[in-house]
Amino acid sequence: MKKMPFWKHIEELRKHVIHCFFAIIIAMIILMNNKNMIFDYIIFAPSKTDFITYRIFYEFTNTFLGFHLNPVSFLSKNLEIQNRQIFGQFNIYVWTCFIGGVILSSPYIFYEFWKFIKPALSNEERKYSRGILIIVTLLFVLGVLFGYFILCPFLIHFGYSFRISDVPKNIFDLSDYISLIIHSVLSMGILFLFPFFIFLLTKMELVSYTFLMKYRKHAFLIMLIIASAITPGDILSTIIVLIPLLILYEVSIYISFSANKKTS
């Protein structure tokens, strides 16, 4: 393995960053050319009463709670969303397509990151690094799907149903709605990468599976705080975010244990 000078690493990193930037721009242009599909069928889908998550929840309550009980209602009617800025819709259009471009091109971005660190890997590490690349991509995609199909509907339900009085009417701002969708999707996509970060820290010998097991209770408290910070603070949505975090933590302990065995 040849050692490269620092400026060579910077030059190599710049090349990969440029590749990622062009991938994001291409994905962004594709999304901008499919404006109606992106906004009507994806972005604004959770604002409608017939969204798939709401329909599944209705079926769940009917099946397991019985027909004699009223199913818990999410939205009684479609959300009213308004734009109050002259260039509000255009700015939302560009910003949403850019974030969508990042998400859509994320597998290629992870691939470019893998290509950058590949020369520093040993032959044995290169054998399972492709598998790690696939797992990282799957974890991120799972997090994005969880944020969109699970977290977003519960956050929208909480914001729609919570009322201090019958006097104020719930007419939601466009930028606030889009921020909620983007924040939910990206935050869960990043949080689902937690096992990968633990793997890196284990390989760097900064953490170990014994450390993770010893401080499991402390980690639970931290994850509870994170779940409360991401959600509005109600018990149901906090539990919904906390459950996958607990599962990811247990997976991280197993990954750390496996990584320690390989290095020892």
68: confidence class by pLDDT, cuts 50, 70, 90:
very low
pLDDT band at 239 (very low <50, low <70, confident <90, very high): confident
Query: What is the reported pLDDT for 61?
Result: 72
Instruction: Give the mean model confidence (pLDDT) for residues 91-97.
Output: 97
**Residue 234: closest CA among 149, 154, 169, 124:** 154
The rounded percent of the chain whose pLDDT value lies above 70 is 88
pLDDT > 90? residue 26 = yes
Mean pLDDT of 57-71: 63
Domain ranges of the chain: 6-192
If you search the block for the tokens 């991938």, which residue do you land on?
23
Strand partners for 171:
80
Residues 6+ apart with CB under 8 A from 72: 57, 61
Q: What percent of the chain has pLDDT over 90?
A: 50
As given in the structure block, the two tokens for residue 27 are 């994905």
Asked whether residue 246 carries a pLDDT value surpassing 90, the answer given is yes
Please tell me the distance from the alpha carbon of residue 194 to that of residue 219, in angstroms, as a whole number: 12
For residue 1, the model assigns a pLDDT of: 47
Q: What is the DSSP letter of 208?
A: -
* 3: confidence class by pLDDT, cuts 50, 70, 90: low
Mean pLDDT of 141-160: 92
Cα 86 from Cα 163, distance rounded (Å): 29
Among the listed residues 175, 25, 193, the one whose alpha carbon sits nearest the alpha carbon of residue 104: 25
Please state, in angstroms and rounded to a whole number, the distance separating the CA atoms of residues 177 and 81. 8
| Residue 196 in this model has a pLDDT that exceeds 50 | yes
3-class DSSP assignment, residue 81: strand
Confidence of residue 6 (pLDDT cuts 50, 70, 90): low
Nearest to 184 by CA among 158, 151, 154, 156: 151
Q: Is pLDDT at 174 greater than 70 in this prediction?
A: yes
Q: Is the pTM of this model over 0.85?
A: yes
- Name the token pair of 77: 């009617």
pLDDT score of 121 more than 90: no
pLDDT for the residue 205: 80
d(CA 174, CA 34): 19
